[in-house]
Amino acid sequence: MKLVLTGGGTGGHIYPALEVGRLAAERGAELRYLGSLRGQESKACERLGIPFEGFASEPLWSLKTPAGWRALIRLLRASGGAKRSMRRDRPDVVFSTGGYSAAPVMAAARSLGIPYVIHEGNSIPGRTMRMFAPKATTVCCTFRTTLEHLPNAVRTGHPVRRELREAAQNREETPLVVVVGGSQGARFLNEGVPQAARSLSGLQWLHATGPAQYDAFKDAAKGIEGYELLPYIEADRLSGAYAHAMLAVARSGSTLAEFAAFRLPSVLVPLPTSADDHQRHNALEFVKIGAATLCEQGKDDLAAAIREWTSDESKRLAAQTALAEWDIPDATSRLATIIEEAARKNA
């Protein structure tokens, strides 16, 4: 089976696609990743030895500006490049996790009659997903809320990295709070959490600022006992931290699926500018099941929200039960099987 992966250009789109590709390759698939030269996917593929072909695509916003028209032109050119690539190599199936990087690849697959499977990792489908879902062989999703917007979708769960799944089997809670702002970091968390920590005692802290923001915030936790601040938490360290944490503080993107895998309650600060306010809706799904607290950026008291969780063991235990019911541990395998079925139908 020849499988094209696409999705990006942020980590929330890229790494789920790569995790599914990893299992598909172990089952015998031949992989290629098509994406944007602007996103993070080229470096991710290079590290894993996956062939990558990139195009000069970028997010498409309003056509009322010169930048919008430039993005449209690049999108059309990228679609042409993806079409030439797939006409040459003729993949059996395409798997997309959405984002602006995926749009030209999906357009090319649709025009060539190549079946494609899409996975929506957020609760509210993005523009790329809404555009291409009607012709998809199968539409898959992570959140229950997504089924209200894509009623024909299949809730497969989220393809969390295998190493994290394995580490989650050895859960042992300690008074550790893990702070993660996503692949690009979160300025509000980098400012607000160290401030909150100064009024909270008896806790250990592991905080990833994001590489781009580390220099600006490397001294933010100066003088706070037990507070470790890093630009990035390596995968092995992160899995161990999740396994021993009592709470996570984060934005509310695809990281929520990792928290579910570890049965880890969270304090969530949605990015106010996320497309269609999807981060708020992601967070609300976890709030509804009793697994998280939603804090409005710049409005709510982070310290109070963190204290509420770290001081109440029964609240954390209830959240763990709710997350176990929400989580789908074999999501990666389910998605790989759906992709294989789509390829067989095209044979």
- Distance, CA of 19 to CA of 154 (rounded, Å): 19
Res. 77: pLDDT tops 90: no
Q: Are residues 319 and 341 in the same domain?
A: no
Residue 2 pLDDT greater than 80, yes or no: yes
Q: Are both 245 and 115 inside the same structural domain?
A: no
The reply to whether 269 and 214 lie within a common domain is yes
Three-state secondary structure call for residue 38 = coil
Q: How confident is the model at residue 277 (pLDDT cuts 50, 70, 90)?
A: confident
Residues 57 and 132 in one domain: yes
Over range 297-305, report the average pLDDT.
88
Retrieve residue 301's tokens. Answer: 């008291």
Do you know the residue count of the chain? 347
Return the residue matching tokens 């001294």: 219
Would the pTM of this model clear 0.85, i.e. be above it?
yes
Task: Write the single-letter amino acid at 116.
Answer: Y
Indicate the pLDDT class of residue 63, thresholds 50, 70 and 90: low
Tell whether omega for the bond before 9 is within 30 degrees of 0, i.e. cis: yes
Could you list the residue range(s) of the whole structural domain that residue 95 is in?
2-158+329-346
Among 309, 267, 311, smallest CA distance to 292 is for: 267
- 176 and 219, same domain (yes or no): yes
Percentage of the residues of the chain whose pLDDT score is greater than 70: 96
Instruction: Let me know whether 298 and 335 are in one domain.
Output: no
Task: Give the highest mean pLDDT range of 60-64, 151-155, 183-187, 300-304.
Answer: 151-155
Q: What pLDDT shows up at residue 135?
A: 95
Q: Are residues 27 and 170 in the same domain?
A: no
Q: Are residues 97 and 183 in the same domain?
A: no
Structural domain count, the chain: 2
- In a shared domain, residues 78 and 61: yes
pLDDT for res 61: 62
Q: What is the CATH number of the domain that holds 119?
A: 3.40.50.2000
Give 218-238 as a DSSP string: TTTTTT-TTEEEES---HHHH
List pLDDT tens digits, range 156-207.
Answer: 999 999 999 999 999 999 999 999 987 666 889 999 999 999 999 999 999 9
For residues 214 and 286, membership in a common domain is answered with yes
Burial class (CB in 10 A: 0-12, 13-18, 19+), 332: buried
Neighbouring CB atoms inside 10 A of 31's CB total 22
- Measured at the alpha carbon of residue 119, what is the angle toward residues 113 and 124, in degrees to the nearest 5? 120
Angle between helices 41-48 and 11-26 (to 10 degrees): 30
Residues 107 and 214 in one domain: no
On whether both 143 and 251 belong to a single domain, the answer is no
Provide mean pLDDT across the span 262-268. 98
